[in-house]
Structure 1
Amino acid sequence: MSRYRLQPSPAQEAALLEHCGHARYVWNLAVEQHAHWQRGRASAPGFAEHCRQLTQARAACAWLAAGSVTVQQQALKDFHQAMANFFGKTHKRPTWRRRGRNEGFRIVAVKPGDVRRVSRKVGEVKVPKVGWVRFRWSRPVEAAKSFRVSRDAAGRWHVAFALIPQPIPAPGTGAVVGVDRGVTVSAALSTGELLVVPGLSEAEKKRLVRLQRRLARAKRGSKRRTTVKVAIARLKAREGDRRKDWVEKTSTDLARRFDVIAVEDLKISNMTRSAKGTLEAPGRNVRQKAGLNRGILANGWGRLVVRVGHKAPGRVRMIDPRYTSQTCNACGHVARESRESQALFLCVACKHRDHADVNAAKNLRDTAAGHCGGCAGRLAVG
């Protein structure tokens, strides 16, 4: 996806919100229909049946008929693709979409003339029943067959063109790097580099705390509560933008400098699962686990590996993470006591001293390169 900031006029914004409402409406209807399906009953409606039902709904509902049939049909198609991903066990089951969240719609069958450049920093995209909508031309737009218009919680509009990214050529030097992801240090490289995702500044963090306290005191449904929620969303959107920018720059740098990138094979969705449990079996250390989950997600672990895989296809090695943080890279001795703290690794056998995350990154690098010395077998079998 190649994303740009959309700059609609007030009238265009109202029309785009109508499209979002139509897409959300038909998506939620499809979710409700599939929620009633059980084993032994007739199969849930397929895409063709849903399209026939949509035609009947448009004939009966003037509000739905006033919208774009392309937007509404594509929402149904996206839903059935989401269901296919769910049954393929690659994604979670599609859920209800709420107003103000997941706002957006997709346009397919885009023609070459549907995107044009107006000036040095301004472009335009043609949206059905809306017309030409301007966006910030921050970089060249390549030919795309579809695009998605979305609105985030901070009220910002974006247009994302579906493109297959061009892979970055390998340097051809045979260089291998290990990348150890953490919470305090976002990414530690086997070269000794410590990379940290830029988050909110101290002043922004204090403002976020004040806004969250104000939100807790605000009356539900009041204008003040809405204003505070938008202010919080803008701060979090700023933090998310910085994280995405860091991921893009870091993944590009790794793809350009190294032939092989070794990372831990982590199940992030399992690691960030809530620990609250149930009423019958309540969880323990729930608040501490929630803080750890926020730290993992804030450091962009998953997105970094995904983007490196896009830019360096076939050059990413997923390594078994067991014992990588307890194994001495110098002598291969495995001991939990060697990890004295979050940052310090001091081998109890040979007294090798290193940054703990860098030591783990070196183990990942050596395992990927196949010359880990005394620790290759242990890292492979755990």
Structure 2
Amino acid sequence: MDSQAHAARATWNLLHDLWMMTPKCRRSLRAADEAIRQARRDIDWLAVLPAQAAQVVLKTYHRAWKNCWEGRADAPNFKARFRTMMSVDIPQGRDLHVKRVHRRWGMVNIPKVGRIRFRWSRDLPVRKNANADNRITGARLVKDALGWHIAFRIQTLQSAPEPHTGSEVGIDTGVNVPLALSDGNHQDHGRPPRLPNGTADREKWLNPDEKAKLLRLEQQAAHRKSFHKRGEKTARRLQNTYDQIKRLRATATRRATDWQHQTTTELARAYGVIVVEDLDIPNMVKSARGTIDNPGKNVAQKSGLNRSISQEAWGRTVTMLTYKTARHGGTLHKVPAPNTSLRCSACGFITPGSRQDQSTFVCKNQDCGWSGNADHNAARNILHLYRMGHALIPAAGRAVVRRPRGVKPATAR
């Protein structure tokens, strides 16, 4: 399986090399397909990859260019050996022959590998209950620090969900409170987002024993790396230490993703309308280092905040909420993000100095004086913007504000 993954990565790099060297007027999928066939005939280690999997690499590469041309992604590039996730696609479900052995394990056929045992984590349409509307159409093998994993693609026929009759809620994604809800039912994973000295805790999803082990491994890796000379091959002991560090960090990432899945599922089941901010996350996590002529300020503090934002994975949370609300009959809306954390949710005015810190909001308006959690205040503002008709509608690649006739912009309550 490792050999197939390396062959798939090499096929991608060869395709990219061929595509960039060929003049634009002569580029075609047919020529690239013929080049792949000829390379698999001439190079033995490329032939380890099944022909169908090689065709998927070509389709994925062409899709990457289409995403670039349509403005959804950057141009594809070469895949490095140590920074690319190893993966292999199995596009045809009939080659898998999935069979359940007992409650916890199943067997699957991998082309050019053989029968492999895998952990049975959810129901699959095996031969007994498979039909044209409920069947396995393919699979994808992915390797991370914890080993190989298989994800099955399933085609199933489901009835349209009934409209959700739940209430409306605004959600503010934050650092101190991961998900602050407008009704006060905040979702917290119970782990401090930042250390007492203000820096981000990278391993907050690990227990104390695992954190101590990770610290010991990092110190061990630093000591062994001091004997490593530039240009030499990494020693086996140092590589084993790196592998143990990767496994611990992969465990933390898996726990964070599991919490996100469980929390977003509960929210999609409980609420019929979920409103979030339209955040430009890549712009929020830009470095504050600046340039030599114009250096930045508070660079270390901004770096810690950027790490905390990246660890909370706000974009992935919104993606999960989008398809889970649709699955349960609800809807998800986005509203403009400016001033949601600065405006008072009680009086509606923006008064300088009201935002005390990351967790406290005290309205400085003499006629108001409302105080509370800053994230809760922002969540209430988000819901109010939706009710005032300021939801964003994607049109022609941009977001426009939908405001009912006769309704003025939200300034005061």
The CA deviation string for residues 101-155 of structure 1, in whole angstroms up to 9 with x for no partner, is 3100111121396322221111222221112222111111253322210101x14
Contact 2:137 2:155 in 1 (8 A): no
Unaligned ranges ≥5, structure 1:
1-15
CA 1:42–1:371: 2 relative to 1, 3 Å: closer
Counterpart residue identity of residue 271, structure 1: M
Whole-Å Cα distance in 1 between the matches of residues 292 and 58 of structure 2? 37
2:278 counterpart (249, 253, 265)? 265
Counterpart residue identity of residue 159, structure 1: I
Q: Which residue of 2 aligns with 1:248?
A: 261
Q: Which residue of 2 aligns with 1:184?
A: 176
1:316 Cα deviation from its structure 2 partner: 0.6
1:163 Cα deviation from its structure 2 partner: 4.6
CA 1:181–1:66: 2 relative to 1, 3 Å: closer
The CA deviation string for residues 72-116 of structure 1, in whole angstroms up to 9 with x for no partner, is 221121111112112221123223223343100111121396322
Q: Are 1:148 and 2:140 an aligned pair?
A: yes
Q: Which residue of 1 aligns with 2:316?
A: 303
Instruction: Give the stretch that moved more between structures: 107-116 or 61-70.
Output: 107-116
1:195 Cα deviation from its structure 2 partner: 2.2
Q: Which residue of 2 aligns with 1:69?
A: 51
CA 1:253–1:244: 2 relative to 1, 3 Å: same
Instruction: Give the stretch that moved more between structures: 62-71 or 240-249.
Output: 62-71
The CA deviation string for residues 284-321 of structure 1, in whole angstroms up to 9 with x for no partner, is 54443332222112112111110111111361111111
Q: CA RMSD in A?
A: 2.7
Q: Which residue of 1 aligns with 2:403?
A: none
Counterpart residue identity of residue 169, structure 2: V
Instruction: Give the stretch that moved more between structures: 267-276 or 71-80.
Output: 267-276
Contact 1:309 1:315 in 2 (8 A): yes
1:232 Cα deviation from its structure 2 partner: 1.2
Whole-Å Cα distance in 1 between the matches of residues 291 and 214 of structure 2? 31
1:339 Cα deviation from its structure 2 partner: 1.0
Q: Are 1:82 and 2:64 an aligned pair?
A: yes
1:236 Cα deviation from its structure 2 partner: 1.1
> Does the residue aligned with 1:138 lie in a helix, a strand or coil?
coil
Whole-Å Cα distance in 2 between the matches of residues 281 and 23 of structure 1? 45
Match runs of 1:265-344 below 5 Å: 265-276=278-289, 285-313=298-326, 315-344=331-360
Whole-Å Cα distance in 1 between the matches of residues 161 and 245 of structure 2? 37
Counterpart residue identity of residue 139, structure 1: R
1:194 Cα deviation from its structure 2 partner: 2.8
| Equivalent pairs, count | 358
Counterpart residue identity of residue 137, structure 2: K
Instruction: Give the stretch that moved more between structures: 67-76 or 191-200.
Output: 191-200
Whole-Å Cα distance in 1 between the matches of residues 252 and 26 of structure 2? 41
Contact 1:104 1:150 in 2 (8 A): yes
2:371 counterpart (353, 359, 366)? 353
Q: Which residue of 2 aligns with 1:196?
A: 188
The CA deviation string for residues 45-97 of structure 1, in whole angstroms up to 9 with x for no partner, is 33322110011112211222243111222112111111211222112322322
CA 1:97–1:169: 2 relative to 1, 3 Å: farther
Match runs of 1:155-166 below 5 Å: 155-163=146-154
CA 1:137–1:216: 2 relative to 1, 3 Å: same
Q: Which residue of 2 aligns with 1:3?
A: none
Counterpart residue identity of residue 241, structure 1: R
Q: Are 1:26 and 2:44 an aligned pair?
A: no
The CA deviation string for residues 187-240 of structure 1, in whole angstroms up to 9 with x for no partner, is 111121332345223443343333333323323401122112111111111111
Between structures 1 and 2, the one with greater helix share: 1
The CA deviation string for residues 337-366 of structure 1, in whole angstroms up to 9 with x for no partner, is 111121111111111111110111111112
1:168 Cα deviation from its structure 2 partner: 6.7
> Does the residue aligned with 1:172 lie in a helix, a strand or coil?
coil
1:134 counterpart (104, 109, 117)? 117
Counterpart residue identity of residue 310, structure 2: L
> Does the residue aligned with 1:218 lie in a helix, a strand or coil?
helix
1:279 Cα deviation from its structure 2 partner: 7.0
Contact 2:217 2:245 in 1 (8 A): yes
Instruction: Give the stretch that moved more between structures: 273-282 or 59-68.
Output: 273-282
Q: Which residue of 2 aligns with 1:102?
A: 85
Contact 2:4 2:48 in 1 (8 A): no
Q: Percent identity?
A: 34
The CA deviation string for residues 232-256 of structure 1, in whole angstroms up to 9 with x for no partner, is 1111111111111111111111111
Counterpart residue identity of residue 161, structure 1: F
CA 1:113–1:29: 2 relative to 1, 3 Å: closer
Q: Are 1:362 and 2:380 an aligned pair?
A: yes
Counterpart residue identity of residue 209, structure 1: L
2:214 counterpart (202, 208, 219)? 208
CA 1:211–1:277: 2 relative to 1, 3 Å: farther
Q: Are 1:123 and 2:129 an aligned pair?
A: no
TM-score by length of 1: 0.85
After the TM superposition, which segments of 4 or more aligned residues of structure 1 sit over 6 Å from their partners? 164-168, 278-282
CA 1:150–1:113: 2 relative to 1, 3 Å: closer
Q: Which residue of 2 aligns with 1:12?
A: none
